[in-house]
Amino acid sequence: MTVLIVTFSKDNESIPLVMEAIEARGEKAFRFDTDRYPTEVKLDIYSGDTERVIITDGEQQIDLSEVTSVWYRRMRYGLKIPESMDKQYREASINECRATVRGMIASLKGFHFDKMINVDRANNKQLQLQVAREVGLLTPRTLTTNNPEAVKQFALECKDQGIITKMLSSFAIFGDRGEEFVVFTTPITDDDLENLEGLRFCPMTFQENVPKALELRTTIVGHQLFTAAVDSQSLEGSTYDWRKEGRALVKNWQPYTLPEDVEKKLLKLMEHFGLNYGAIDIIVTPDGRHVFLEVNPVGEFFWTEVYSPHYPISQAIAEILLTQK
């Protein structure tokens, strides 16, 4: 068996962990870094009388007729196309790379972990919250808007606990040296409520501030659930978003057992979206409620496996890639 892993060259430890698990079973894994295409990696797609797809990466080459499953993970289309290229031509080139790679993936036979159409649909955060409520999960009150008056009214409705703001999309600001500054979940102050003019340029998402006893990351692989908990309130910087102190907390994650009814509801959510994999964020409140925040269909898991022996997630992923059809 041969597994195609579609990612990019600066992806994290997740990739080698899964590749090692696949190779330990005597099978093959081929890595396709989308940021190195088309500048360094060649992709030949033949259709008509001959149906063939060949990827060439240096001395390595694979005929995708050999591929039995594909792990669709991280995409950075055409990232190494020179910045010096005319902006319009560069954008056109990147769009063509994107269409080519996604078309190639969509046409592959075999098992997809997960299908692009399912990943794309599941990435809609408003839909996630809607489906989560439908399957019986608790969710925070949420407002996405470009209307300052709606935000002020929402803040009044949530005045006891306050409100926070977050991004629906994956968003970061990059410095002059390429440093990445992630936009974290942030509390909204009274001063913020008087300075909402920027909403006319960009909508924002606001949620009630849910009190936290613990924050959970539940990684679902097939029907297996791996849940880890961290006390994000132990550090001042991670009060609203544990990722802000992610490095300081990385070894503090502990095994956690979800209530059976919550596990069943999460599996229903996954079934609705046709997902075999999802990284789910949950808040445990001081009174013991489990509040669903979101599911990332290509979310991270590596830190819970690297720093804890309790979460053999890469093994579970390898097993699905090698056994599902």
pLDDT in the model for residue 170: 63
Average pLDDT over residues 162-186: 68
Domain spans in the chain, listed from the N-terminal domain onward: 2-113, 115-138+211-325, 141-209
322, pLDDT greater than 60: yes
pLDDT in the model for residue 55: 98
Percent of the chain with pLDDT over 70: 95
pLDDT in the model for residue 78: 92
pLDDT in the model for residue 164: 94
pLDDT tens digits for range 200-215: 999 999 999 999 999 9
pLDDT in the model for residue 286: 97
pLDDT in the model for residue 142: 97
Half-sphere exposure of 300 (CA within 13 A, CB side): 10
pLDDT in the model for residue 175: 46
Q: With b meaning 16 or more CB within 10 Å and e meaning fewer, what string describes 139-157?
A: bbebbeeeebeebeebbee
Strands of the 28-33 sheet, one edge to the other:
28-33, 2-7, 67-72, 111-113
**CATH annotation of 115-138+211-325:** 3.30.470.20
174, pLDDT greater than 50: no
178, pLDDT greater than 60: no
pLDDT in the model for residue 309: 64
Say how far apart CA 3 and CA 301 lie, in whole Å.
19
Average pLDDT over residues 187-197: 95
pLDDT tens digits for range 217-273: 999 999 999 999 999 999 888 888 888 888 888 888 999 999 999 999 999 999 999
**CATH annotation of 141-209:** 3.30.1490
pLDDT tens digits for range 221-234: 999 999 999 999 99
Per CATH, domain 2-113 is 3.40.50 = yes
Structure token digits, residue 234: 């132990």
Cβ 205 vs Cβ 125: under 8 Å: yes
Average pLDDT over residues 98-112: 95
pLDDT in the model for residue 57: 97
pLDDT in the model for residue 245: 84
pLDDT in the model for residue 5: 97
Average pLDDT over residues 133-148: 97
Beta-carbon contacts of residue 202 (< 8 Å; ≥ 6 apart): 146
Using 50, 70 and 90 to split pLDDT, how confident is the model at 325? confident
pLDDT in the model for residue 173: 44
Average pLDDT over residues 93-103: 96
